[in-house]
Amino acid sequence: MKIITNYKTTTFDVEIPVRILQKKGEYTLVYEVSLPEVKPATHAIIMGVKEDLMREIKLSEEEIIDERAIKMVQTKIKEKAVKIIRKNFPKESKEKLNNLLCIILSETIGLGPVEYLLNDPELEEVVVHGQKAPAWVYHRTHGWLKTNIFLTEKQVYDYSTIIGRKVGRSISRLDPLLDARLLNGDRINAVLYPISYFGNTITIRKFRKKPWTIVDLIKNDTLTVEEAALLWLATQYEISYLIAGGTASGKTTLLNTLMAFIPPNHRVISIEDTKELQLPSFLYWTSLVVREPNLEGKGGISMQELLINSLRMRPDRIIVGEVRRKFEAETLFEAIHTGHSVYATVHAETGEQTVQRLTHDPMNIPEGMISAIPLIVVMFRDRRKGIRRLSELSEVISTEIMGKARIVINKVREWDSSSNEHFSSNPSKTLTQKIKVYTGMSEEDVTKDLNDKKKVLKWMIENELSGLENVGRIISAYFLDSGTLLEMIRKNCSKAEVLKNYG
């Protein structure tokens, strides 16, 4: 056995040791978490405490979706659990009592041993299986790892129903699929046996507790200052675009980050199948989510219905979320043709593939309509190196070939995987022209605007500005009074001075 790395995580104020190991006979690295140990008799008492707490404290249907109510209940459970533990184990050490409290809280307000995995910030994804198969995790550095945590079929089923109740949804043998997002932002997918042939399965994509900012993405080389400035320009002046890429390539992360470039006085409406967007709090944002019909086929609310309703809410910008099926693509283009700026993500590896995906089965959007999306931004995930990059920024140009309307992709920016460098490929043919038409700006005005945005971005990076709120304050300051902000940057004012001026 070889230890690759070891560190500690924290669950309910208890430090949990983690080791990543290379074990003989294993085909992959092993993620080993040291769970708090208790004797069988003690564990029986803990389970009794859990049942008493669950009977005593219950949430109503309204409270289940109220984050404040849930936190109040969690505080009550913790207080009662502490009293019960001290009563049952008066002679135990403080460390032992904390371990017992951690186990009780994990079982009552968490997902049992899975809670230890969810509290590791180095993990992006947690997959739980039944039938005595181990849970697997996706580690930011080491990729997919097998863990030493095992759950029974009943545990996975029980956790699935608990998750369903938390989001006001049901999952059962008759309705064995659940796709939802928890209040903390985690994306949950549960599939029950026999649909999941090898046993009940829960997949949890963890939500980053500290949201990414454009500063973070530039600093880790996801995109360059030049690309960020270009996308800021496009977003500010209401140019619609799609963000394409493979699974877990960073599409939604980039979309969330770029939405910070929307002026704060613009009304933003998002329409999603399952809630994934987490936009900056300083935006004027209303989130609408599709509702599936119940078992009787009643109560369903479609994306088309939400779109129609959103137009009555006087939006400036509409975000359609992920486009996967025909009706979602139709919703996207219907929104564009109402005269609004629209943003969405789609699974495709290149700009050309994005167009093919939209114009062929199952979406079948007429090719002549595709140019309504002026820009396609492509994200790429390099699994070998463990990095994500903006691999392509392309214009969508409508042209005529042999009397028929055809779409041509003009790559303005690209990323070279071998050298890990971003570079300009072709001159812009339509983006600058569209902005000039929309705003009345001259070529020189557009160039100056881009340069000003680069100065602001570079200043934020050089001053190591962190946090979504701080980055948002600087972007908002630029919209309110760019002259003063740029003058402070020119004078090399400190981060504290600038933030104080706009605090």
Encode pLDDT of 380-404 as tens digits. 998 878 899 999 999 999 887 776 7
> Which stretch of 59-73, 106-120, 277-291 has the lowest confidence by average pLDDT?
59-73
Cis peptide before 176 (omega within 30 of 0): no
52/450 Cα distance (integer angstroms): 62
308 has a pLDDT exceeding 80: yes
Nearest of 337, 339, 303, 299 to residue 320 by alpha carbon: 303
According to DSSP, the residues that pair with 143 across neighbouring strands are 139
pLDDT, mean of residues 99-121 = 87
Nearest of 208, 168, 161, 148 to residue 184 by alpha carbon: 208
DSSP-derived letter for residue 369 is G
| Strand-by-strand arrangement of the 14-22 sheet | 2-11, 14-22, 30-33, 143-150, 134-139, 123-129, 201-205, 187-191, 177-181
Give 216-251 pLDDT, tens digit per residue: 999 999 999 999 999 999 999 999 999 999 988 999
CB atoms within 10 A of CB 422: 20
pLDDT of 156: 94
**Which range, 29-43, 49-63, 427-441, is most confident?**
427-441
pLDDT of 70: 66
Provide the CA 251 distance to its chain's centre, in angstroms: 9
Give 450-469 pLDDT, tens digit per residue: 999 999 999 999 999 988 88
Q: Are 321 and 339 in contact (CB under 8 A)?
A: no
Q: Are 418 and 427 in contact (CB under 8 A)?
A: no
63 has a pLDDT exceeding 60: no
Tokens describing residue 377: 């931004």
Pairing between β-strand 201-205 and β-strand 187-191 as defined by DSSP bridges:
antiparallel
Tokens describing residue 218: 């530039």
Query: What is the residue whose two structure tokens read 């949890």?
Result: 204
Q: Are 336 and 329 in contact (CB under 8 A)?
A: no
Provide the CA 86 distance to its chain's centre, in angstroms: 40
pLDDT of 79: 81
39: buried, middle or exposed (CB in 10 Å: 19+, 13-18, 0-12)?
A: exposed
Split at pLDDT 50, 70, 90, the class of 484 is very high
Q: Boundaries of CATH 3.30.450.380 in the chain?
A: 2-205
Integer angstrom CA distances of residue 270 from 41, 183, 234, 254, 276: 52, 17, 19, 16, 10
Integer angstrom CA distances of residue 76 from 17, 108, 109, 143, 168: 28, 12, 11, 38, 22
Higher pLDDT, 162 or 238: 238
Which CATH code fits 214-438? Answer: 3.40.50.300
pLDDT of 408: 93
For residue 56, give the H/E element and its range: helix 40-56
Give 177-187 pLDDT, tens digit per residue: 998 877 777 88
pLDDT, mean of residues 162-169 = 80
CA dihedral sign, ordered 324, 325, 327, 333: positive
Tokens describing residue 422: 């971003």
DSSP character string of 321-336? EEE-SHHHHHHHHHHH
Pairing between β-strand 284-289 and β-strand 267-272 as defined by DSSP bridges:
parallel
43 has a pLDDT exceeding 80: no
Q: Three-state secondary structure along 409-478?
A: EEEEEEEECCCCEEEECCCCCCHHHHHHHHHCCCHHHHHHHHHHHHHHHHHHHHCCCCCHHHHHHHHHHH
Q: What is the largest CA-CA distance in the chain?
A: 88
Q: Boundaries of CATH 3.40.50.300 in the chain?
A: 214-438
Query: Terminal CA-to-CA distance of the chain, rounded, Å?
Result: 54
> Which stretch of 1-10, 44-53, 185-194 has the lowest confidence by average pLDDT?
44-53
| Residues sharing a CB contact under 8 Å with residue 80, sequence separation 6 or more, in sequence order | 53, 56, 57
According to DSSP, the residues that pair with 44 across neighbouring strands are none
3-state secondary structure of 221: coil
| Strand-by-strand arrangement of the 267-272 sheet | 284-289, 267-272, 317-323, 341-347, 241-245, 375-382, 387-401, 404-416, 421-424
60 has a pLDDT exceeding 70: no
Split at pLDDT 50, 70, 90, the class of 325 is confident
Global pTM exceeds 0.75: yes
Among the four given CATH numbers 1.20.1260.10, 3.30.450.380, 3.30.70.141, 3.20.20.150, the one describing domain 2-205:
3.30.450.380
Provide the CA 283 distance to its chain's centre, in angstroms: 17
